[in-house]
Structure 1
Amino acid sequence: MTHRTAIALAALLVSPAWAHEAGGIHSEKSTQVEAAFDLVHTHVFKDGSDLVFEQLVDGQAGSRLPTAKGSFAGAEVYSYVWPTSLNSGAVGFEDDSGILALALTSHPDFDDTPQLDENGDGDKANDGGLWHSHWVVLTKEPSCGPSGLKVRDIPEGAKPKLPPTWPGVPIYIDSPGYDLSVKNDAAQIRVPLSAVGFPASFNYDGVTAALQVNANLHDPLLCVSSVWDVASGDLSLPATWKSMD
């Protein structure tokens, strides 16, 4: 089973109703998905020297946050995710490590952006509940339940290549601190083209999902626990961004 096939298993949790058109992926509204996570349009487009990753939802984007549990172990993560065909090495991980995905996340129980002070209060360790950006590498993991997916773990003693803004957590995650917006029906992250090596093209999809930290804090550390919506319906990454230069 390939990594692409593994991530497609997560799509079985939702009822596909979609149409792929020029300019991203247009998805039908669903009464089975909470409006804040019900995808209606997933798009990546160029704006100046940036790539803008955008998801439009049926409700208020970012209006639902995880309930704090009081500890890192067992903590929940809510996310808007763009799985891509970009190689994991494009942003500083080891090449060919899994599925490289951009994610907009919120998790009030922990802070994984140690180089940033998002709320400007002088404390860099209390911002996890604010929406922020990550690159993650997804791989298959049968023990993660119906999704069969996790953020790739880093075994004890291993020293893989990692981005300079890796937050020190033993998983393939990066905390790049990109500009973002969560407003009205739109969730957006702005990624400098230079940050992904000026690709000529890549494919992408859209997902809204929850992840959960393992209560025992061991491999798998961070599972995809619930998949709410998939833009394409089957995670086939049907949309393509192409450079016009």
Structure 2
Amino acid sequence: MFRAFIAGTLVAGTALLCHAPANAHPVKAEPNQAVQAAFDIIETKITTKGDTAVFSTRVRGEAGKDKPDAAGKFEGSSVYAYVWPTSLDSGEIGFDQKQGIVALAVTFHPDFDDAASGGKNRHIWHPHWVVMAKDKACGGGLKVVDIPAGAKPKVPKTWPGVPLLIDSPDYPTSFTGDTVDVEIPLSLIGTIKGASFDGVAAGLKVNGNLHAPLLCVDNVFKVASGNLSLPGKVEPAK
């Protein structure tokens, strides 16, 4: 199902993602008992307050409660993530322009560290910027964009040194009951005001052969809009 709506939604490329309705606000979803409660998204939103943008997702159960089992090695290991796909351009988060779909993701992966400057983060939920693109080789139809061998793309200062378009900034991230929040200084993403977004809960997997695609969306638990149409609109907190 997810591969089908990915194909339908992204066929025109990331430009399509910029045309969410002008009157959209948070993205709300009906609870679904077939989805794990910790990933059953009820509402996702991005608001601005003072000099901060707050990315927030509320679920039916306890946010962050469920974590992937350890594989004992990097290859074939799993990642769980709360994700906010956006209409931002990859150039706005420190990469080259027009590289794919820009998303903020709060992730947990017990088998490897991908913090900036060699830091440790394998046993905590932590944020990333990721750039994603379609790939039929992935079970969920999407991947984190690979950096080909020998390529020297533009990367942000907190890029963790892996061959992916992924950033590891140290943004305040909190889990409180049914909600996960990430706070980001507006000075780092000033064009977030008025941007479009959606909410996704998903499982990702590292390629067992360590070949591209290296990191695939493997299992989509829930998409807030149901079709990844980015109907949300960033607005000031009320």
Cα distance in 2 for residues equivalent to 1:49 and 1:7: 36
Cα distance in 1 for residues equivalent to 2:198 and 2:83: 8
1:15 corresponds to which residue?
none
State the AA in 2 paired with 1:41: E
Q: Is the 8 A contact 1:85 1:202 kept in 2?
A: yes
* Alpha-carbon shift at residue 199 of structure 1 (Å): 3.9
2:96 corresponds to which residue?
94
Structure 1 residues not aligned, in runs of 5+: 10-20, 117-123
SS in 2 for 1:194: helix
2:167 corresponds to which residue?
174
Picking from 149, 152, 155, the partner of 1:156 is 149
The reply on whether 1:189 has 2:166 as its aligned counterpart is no
**Mean Cα displacement is larger for which, 226-235 or 195-204?**
195-204
* Alpha-carbon shift at residue 129 of structure 1 (Å): 2.2
SS in 1 for 2:146: coil
1:13 corresponds to which residue?
none
Cα distance in 2 for residues equivalent to 1:115 and 1:219: 23
> TM-score under structure 1 normalisation?
0.86
* Alpha-carbon shift at residue 243 of structure 1 (Å): 6.4
2:122 corresponds to which residue?
128
1:12 corresponds to which residue?
none
SS in 2 for 1:201: coil
Q: Is the 8 A contact 2:48 2:193 kept in 1?
A: no
SS in 1 for 2:234: strand
1:16 corresponds to which residue?
none
Cα distance in 2 for residues equivalent to 1:70 and 1:242: 42
Structure 1: which 4+ aligned runs deviate by more than 2 Å? 4-9, 197-200
SS in 1 for 2:117: coil
Cα distance in 2 for residues equivalent to 1:212 and 1:94: 25
User: Across the two proteins, how many residue pairs are aligned to each other?
Assistant: 221
Change (3 A) 1:7 1:109: farther
* Alpha-carbon shift at residue 54 of structure 1 (Å): 0.3
State the AA in 2 paired with 1:143: A
Cα distance in 2 for residues equivalent to 1:149 and 1:5: 8
Q: Is the 8 A contact 1:80 1:209 kept in 2?
A: yes
Cα distance in 2 for residues equivalent to 1:229 and 1:154: 28
* Alpha-carbon shift at residue 200 of structure 1 (Å): 4.0
* Alpha-carbon shift at residue 46 of structure 1 (Å): 1.2
State the AA in 2 paired with 1:142: K
CA RMSD of aligned residues (A): 1.9
SS in 2 for 1:176: coil
State the AA in 2 paired with 1:192: P
SS in 1 for 2:91: helix
SS in 2 for 1:143: coil
Picking from 138, 142, 145, the partner of 2:136 is 142
Change (3 A) 1:197 1:23: closer
Change (3 A) 1:55 1:133: same
Structure 2 residues not aligned, in runs of 5+: 11-22
Cα distance in 2 for residues equivalent to 1:98 and 1:114: 22
SS in 2 for 1:43: strand
> TM-score under structure 2 normalisation?
0.88
Change (3 A) 1:33 1:143: same
Cα distance in 2 for residues equivalent to 1:7 and 1:36: 28
* Alpha-carbon shift at residue 115 of structure 1 (Å): 3.4
- % of aligned pairs identical? 50
SS in 1 for 2:102: strand
2:50 corresponds to which residue?
48
Q: Is the 8 A contact 2:56 2:182 kept in 1?
A: yes
Q: Deviations over 1:102-122 (max 9, x none)?
A: 000000100100437xxxxxx
Q: Is the 8 A contact 1:203 1:238 kept in 2?
A: yes
The reply on whether 1:113 has 2:115 as its aligned counterpart is yes
